[in-house]
Structure 1
Amino acid sequence: MTDMVALVPLRGGSKSIPDKNIRMIGGKPLCAWVLEAACQSGIFSRVVVSTDSAKIAQTVAGLGLPVEVLDRPAELATDTASTEAVMLHAARCIDFEVVVTIQATSPLVTPEDFRRAAALFRAGGYDSLVTGVRTKRFFWNGDGSPLNYDPRSRPRRQEFAGTFMENGAFYFTRRKLLEESQCRLGGRIAVYEMAPDTAVEIDEPADWEVVERALRLKAVSTATGSLGDIRLLAVDVDGTLTDAGMYWSAEGDRLKKFNTRDAKGLQLVREAGVEVAVLTSENSPIVTARMAKLGITRCYIGVEDKQGCLLELVRDLGIELGQTAYIGDDVNDLACLKLSGFSACPGDAVDAVRAVVHHVSRHKGGMGAVRELCQMILEAQGC
């Protein structure tokens, strides 16, 4: 088998988006998306990060992936240094027949993309490969000359093969070609077609929002499919099981309003074998009394560290975080939401929560949001 090495250049001096390569997006550092995909593809003998930054190297090491870090000389980490120069430096340090240079700014790449591209590259005996997205738009030069069609014989869209736009996701390059031409592309070049949503590379802040939205949609699809594996449902109280209102009597008694349909949902998921835990930062005997009425024994009140509480719960139950679903509405729920395999919030949750969860309920807190999530879990588990 051809000895293929993955090379991920991660420079530390991004100006348009500071610390871009390790900035959190979709719940992970940007570089983690492509590094995970490369490792999971199974086609690389080594996955190597080339960086000049100790901070990036530390972040990469913290991912727990089988990734090596190659120290990049300072002169190859300037704004003017080329990717080819980084590739040639790697070639002097690493043995390979083919190097696959992967851009962290294309986090929508999948393990299957690497596998299919490798199969195409090998089958055709190509010297290099470029990734692109097909477009059926007509292009022109500034001088009025057409680039990709004849205006005198304008094709119908269904008959037009279109043109590939390079999306910069990754490049295959044989060592011989790289050393002789000092270019990543040359000789017989293959074009690997990728999904339309991979057309955007993260170069500017506006690109970040577009890609983060695409990653969220992808995560929702994946996470929704994993609801069948949920073994623990953790639920916030104020603003989630209640409407966030606090009711006071003239005598100073505090009251909360709970939804009986939410209660029925919790009962049904428990009957289906899913553990239910309630976590609230308020030290409220009302919550304790309500959960006792529902038979929910895992009731944690006055919890200042919800993340720590959730991690302890997972350890006690002997399950993975990926088997946990969490629903909450405010910023003190963010850590738990990001850790859980499936995250949800009421429709009236704060914006910071709505931006990170897999599912935003059609219902408000205390008005059926919890029941909706319970129903999703039950359906996914065939109950």
Structure 2
Amino acid sequence: MKNQPMLVYLADLAHDYFPARQFVPLGIGYIASYANSVVGDSVEFKLFKSVEKLLDAVDDRRPDLVGFANYIWNYALTGFAGRQIKQAYPNLPIILGGPNIRTDEAGIADFLKNNEFVDVYCMYSGEISTAKIIQALSGKDPGERTADAVRGLDVEGCYTLRDGALAGSANTDNETDLDFVPSPFITGVLDDFLDDGFIPILETNRGCPYSCSFCVWGISALNKLKKFSMERIKAELSYIAESGRAYPQFVFADANFGILKRDVEIAQYLRALYDKTKCFSNVEMYWSKSAQDHMVDIGRILGHLTHTYIAFQSLDDDVLSAINRKNISTEKLVSLISKLRGYTHSTRTDILVGLPGETYDSHLRSLEKALG
């Protein structure tokens, strides 16, 4: 019966056998909320962070599709779970998405060959491509919702192996207004995780105009800035803050918070929510590398709630040139840190090891400058 509801499990796995900060699975939350807006009640979604809960759920009630979020920090855990599921249910389709993959076709083919449990990989932002896969499967009889059926789909932005050869195409998603994705907070998709004490993580925009060669944001496919509307952002912040829950912190996943002047307004709104609810005590964000004057206003507004986080990566001119970072002014960033020192509670940076052109001595010099 083609009208029989479809069951989809989406997993953003994290090790949970010891106490650690755990964040709501925002990425798969977006995928579920958008897909639900496309297919409606014909598909049931269940989201997982725990590998144990996922594997138990698969055995208890076999889904029609499993999707994993693939990051560098959960790659091994995802591989363990995916292989366990594929071994037990060879015909169950499994798809992956996320940044932990090379973006050239040779790299994609290697990934799929080395991760044989993956039937399809969705590149870049996966809301639209994943929804198309789900929509195609939901129109089939339950017995036809198979791994072979998924591998046979031609969906833009997805790759698969057919007879050992790579088939597919890069993502052609040109959406600039991100509000087409319903909020996974406001729709209640992430409520269970908030109830369990997971830390809320939010996006106000996506993309990065810089081209740092070591960074996933640095590729051309992700260098255009896309925004959620201010109305949407404020509604999400209010939903989270006024729910009666308490959180250790709010986290913004933007690559460059403060790159837009409107981020001052977001900071003001967030500060007002803190003053009203006191439901969180810290705001974590990745400050923009543009070092614009209005970023000082953000620090002044948030004050003790946040720290100054400027990721230098290296303070050696040759290394910065090698990683395409010479267009970011170290002097302006240092000046920004000085201006923010009287407002935020501390200063933090990142100095990476093993960048192109880096030597033992140059790395030590970067550390000395950062600590000085």
**Is TM-score (shorter-chain normalized) higher than 0.5?**
no
The structure with the greater share of residues assigned to strand is 1
TM-score under structure 2 normalisation? 0.31
Higher-Rg member (1/2): 1
